[in-house]
Each structure stands twice: as C-alpha cells, then as structure tokens.
C-alpha cells in the first residue's frame, strides 16, 4: 500500500480561550467571525490534504489565512486543537515529546522566510546543525554539510561566517541544512519570499532540480501565484483558515483569482468560473 508522505485530517487550530469549545462550535457551523467576536482566533479550520512521496504540494493564500499555522502543525511546533497529522505511517498527534522530537529530527526539515543562522558558527557548521542535534559525529556531519553546500551553489563559502553572506546566500544555507539532514519531508514557509526576483527564480529552479534528484516530499508555502504555478505539483488555496480548493496547476485548473474570489464557497471544489482558454 502506498502511504502518503504527509496526511492531514480534520485539522483545527484555535487560539484564545477554550479552543476545544470553539472547535465544537465551528463544527456546528459557527463562522470564524462569530468566534472572533468572542475572543478566539480560528487560524486553521477543518483542513485536510495529503502529499504523496516525491510531490511538491503548495499551500497558497493571503496573509493571515492560516498557512504558517498549518505548516507548524505538520512538524509539531504547534499542537492541533483537533484533528490528525500523519508523517508516513506515524501519527504525529499521538506522540509523546520524545517521540515527536525523534520524528522531527529524522523525517522533517523546515526552512523559514528569514532563516536564522547561528552567527558565531561558520557556514558549514550551520549547515551541519540538524545533524549535530541528531548526535551525528563531527567529521561525518561536516562532510555531509559540505556536500549540501555544494548542491546549493555555496562551494567556497563553508568556512565563512553567516554575516559575510547576502540574504539570498543565507537562505541557501538554510536549504543546505535541510538537505544535509536527509529527511524525506521538507517544509518551506515563504522560504524564497524575501529574495529579489532574479535570485528567487534561481532558487525555484534549484529546488526543482534538487527535487528531481532526491525525490523529497515538499510542502511549500507561498502567497505568490507565479511561484505556486512554477513549482507546485498540486496547489491548495487557503482562505480564512480553510482549504477552499486543491488542484493541479496548468490548463486543467485555471486558478486565476481564486485566492481572493469571494464567489467560491468554503467547500467548493469546482473549477473557477472564468472561461478556460482554448
Ligand atoms: N500564536 C498565536 N496566537 C494568536 N493568534 C495567532 C497566533 N499565530 C497566528 N495567529 C493568528 O492566526 C491567523 C493565521 O495566522 P498565520 O500566521 O497562520 O497566517 P499566514 O497565512 O501564515 O499569514 P502570512 O502570509 O502573513 O504569513 C492570523 O489571524 C493570526 O493573527
Ligand atoms: Mg505565514
């Protein structure tokens, strides 16, 4: 049987007072706005999707739609208020802290928008950091980190300090750290969003190439439609905490305007109403 690399079922995250009560009310049909009036923020509402092994699954949506909250529940940085997350055949939501740590270290890497490098360590030590946390011996982890730096185009920078690198290069170190960790799942939250357009495109190309080479499962968050269309095998659109549609980029799914269109209902899976070019 083919197990999805990442599977999410009925996932909720509510911030504020009595979040479980809020989930019950949402299930009974209360709106996020009603909850907000009572002081709760429903950041993720009944989210469900699965990403197949080797797939780039993009989550797109406007600011505040719940993307970061969703992705943080995928690696246990945030505990869901309700619902389940599976990484491979392991249910994340049922693990104790030690088990969670183990899954996180061995299976999941994450790259953020502003990747925080450790300033007093060299670039290669930074790239080796995930392996260090995992207890991999120094020589082995530095060798793996050097290889990963080569892959992201940073050969020659291994022994420099992070502050000698441009922002784009620092993002590459973040990517190298994730690659060196050799986890099967890569979570990327607006990882390229702070980069200028040319570098950003270059990073997208590089990610696609690495993806072809290593076949990792990538959950990639962006608010940029072009980026989503360029790198996504599938794209989920989030609005106000809900995944309002999921589809494949390209002609079969004209998604122009869907991220802001008020017309599609929360449960809509139908294609956008705009006529399809022939
Ligand atoms: N720790 C928190 N406590 C309270 N509310 C939170 C918390 N984290 C997020 N929220 C709220 O949850 C909602 C979703 O936030 P989230 O950061 O997931 O959005 P996002 O889609 O990642 O936005 P952006 O594109 O700006 O990064 C927002 O209304 C936000 O204010
Ligand atoms: Mg975010």
Query: Atom 28 of ligand 1 has which residue's CA nearest to it?
Result: 64
Query: Atom 7 of ligand 1 has which residue's CA nearest to it?
Result: 15
pLDDT band of residue 113 (cuts 50, 70, 90) is confident
* Pocket probe mutation, ligand 1, options 14, 32, 36, 41, max atoms within 8 Å of Cβ: 41
Is 15's C-beta closer than 6 angstroms to any atom of ligand 1? yes
pLDDT in tens, 126-150: 999 999 999 999 999 999 999 999 9
The residue with tokens 């989210």 is 47
Residue 55 buriedness (CB in 10 A; 0-12 / 13-18 / 19+): buried
Higher pLDDT, 258 or 189: 189
Ligand 1 pocket mutation pick from 42, 47, 64, 225 by most atoms within 8 angstroms of CB: 64
d(CA 202, CA 208): 10
Q: pLDDT, tens digit, for every residue of 61-81?
A: 999 999 999 999 999 999 999
Ligand 1 close to Cβ of residue 81 (< 6 A): no
The pTM of the full predicted model, rounded to 2 decimals, is 0.88
Residues near 194 by Cβ (< 8 Å), separated by ≥ 6? 113, 114, 167, 171
Nearest-CA residue for ligand 1 atom 22 is 68
Please tell me if the CB atom of residue 223 comes closer than 6 angstroms to any atom of ligand 1: yes
C-beta of residue 159 within 8 angstroms of C-beta of residue 123: yes
Q: Check if 61 has its Cβ closer than 6 Å to any atom of ligand 1.
A: yes
Q: What is the pLDDT of residue 266?
A: 40
Q: How far is CA 203 from the centre of its chain?
A: 16
Distance 171 CA to ligand 1 centre (A): 22
């Amino acid at each position: 049987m083919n197990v999805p690399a990442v599977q999410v079922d009925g996932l909720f995250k509510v911030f504020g007072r009595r979040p479980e009560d809020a989930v019950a009310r949402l299930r009974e049909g209360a709106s996020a706005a009603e909850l907000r009036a009572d002081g709760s923020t429903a950041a993720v509402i009944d989210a469900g999707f699965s990403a197949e092994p080797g797939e780039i699954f993009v989550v797109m949506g406007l600011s505040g739609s719940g993307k970061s909250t969703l992705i943080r529940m995928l690696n246990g940085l945030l505990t869901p208020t309700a619902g389940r997350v599976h990484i491979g055949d392991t249910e994340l939501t049922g693990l104790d802290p030690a088990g969670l740590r183990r899954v996180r270290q061995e299976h999941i890497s994450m790259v953020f928008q502003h990747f925080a490098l450790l300033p007093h360590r060299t670039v290669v030590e930074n790239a080796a950091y995930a392996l260090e946390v995992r207890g991999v011996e120094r020589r082995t982890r530095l060798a793996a980190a050097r290889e990963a730096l080569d892959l992201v185009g940073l050969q020659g920078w291994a022994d420099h300090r992070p502050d000698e690198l441009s922002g784009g290069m620092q993002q590459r170190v973040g990517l190298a750290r994730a690659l060196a960790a050799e986890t099967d799942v890569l979570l990327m939250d607006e990882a390229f969003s702070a980069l200028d357009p040319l570098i950003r495109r270059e990073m997208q190309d590089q990610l696609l190439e690495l993806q072809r080479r290593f076949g990792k499962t990538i959950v990639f968050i962006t608010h940029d439609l072009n980026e989503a269309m360029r790198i996504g095998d599938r794209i989920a659109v989030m609005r106000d905490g809900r995944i309002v549609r999921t589809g494949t980029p390209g002609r079969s799914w004209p998604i122009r305007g869907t991220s802001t269109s008020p017309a599609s209902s929360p449960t809509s899976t139908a294609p956008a109403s705009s006529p399809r070019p022939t």
